[in-house]
Amino acid sequence: MQTKTVLSGTVFVCYDMNMNKLLVSLFVFSVFAVSVSAYELEISEPQKPYDVIPLDVSSDVKSVQLGILNNYPVMYDFTVDEPTTLNLNLRQLANGKSEPLALGLMVVKQEGRGAGVAEVARFNPHQEEWKKIKDKAVGLTFWDSEVLIEGLESGEYKVEVSTPDNNGKYIFSIGEEEGSLGYFESISHARITQKFYGYSILRMLLVPTVYYPLGIILLLFLIQKTRKYRKMIQNVN
């Protein structure tokens, strides 16, 4: 009987060790395997109506702007040093909304000192052109526009984001995604975006980079408690 008890305890210990190794491996995998494309996230905060917000498009990292239309359009400014192609995209929250806002943008080029501006592109997606997507990286659902691809010569450009009544929140992105975000940076971006749209910290439980590790930690905790309970029963016997 004593030999049987020793063997049984040995089996339990081996099982616990193997299970812990497996769960730790899953935890590490869940932290580092969730890939989120790299981008710089900023909140557009003009100090007064028609203030121009500068953008840097010289880097390879996409710039994502969280903006609010408050009775006037929001203007951005950037400089192209050499001919290039830029991707522009609009996004708006779809959670609880049956229809997207009539959000649009216009790109103009400064034609030299005192020469005014020339329109380069106007982008006003029709209602049916907005695609509803679930962005797991931030735990929210959005209306997403098509990507506007524009070939630009060197010079100074301005982008105006607006709606007919200039009210509502939006996400404006410019540039291409290169590489991927780090784990903690992706969590930070998700929380900033959720907070921008008025969601509490509990919304983060819908983000895979949060709920996968939390689930594995919970499993590790339950296994640890089970192992202690099993040892207690063995000692009693």
> What CA–CA distance (Å, rounded) separates 130 from 91?
9
Q: What is the pLDDT of residue 199?
A: 95
- The full set of domain ranges for the chain reads 39-209
> pLDDT by residue (tens digit) across 138-184?
999 999 999 999 999 999 999 999 999 999 999 999 998 766 778 88
Length of the chain: 237
User: What is the C-alpha separation between 90 and 145, in angstroms, rounded?
Assistant: 5
Mean pLDDT over 48-54 rounds to 93
Q: What is the mean pLDDT of the chain?
A: 83
pTM of the model as a whole: 0.78
Given a cut of 60, whether residue 33 has pLDDT beyond it is no
Per-residue model confidence (pLDDT) at position 4: 44
Taking residues 76-93, report their average pLDDT: 94
Task: Give residue 105's pLDDT.
Answer: 97
Who has greater pLDDT, 137 or 38? 137
Write 195-203 long-range contacts (CB < 8 A, 24+): 196/43, 196/66, 196/169, 197/93, 197/95, 197/140, 197/169, 199/140, 203/139, 203/140
CATH number of 39-209: 2.60.120.1050
Q: pLDDT value at position 3? A: 46
Q: Residue 119 has which token pair?
A: 């329109």
Return all residues near 145 (Cβ < 8 A) that are at least 6 apart. Answer: 89, 90, 91, 103, 123, 125, 129, 130, 131
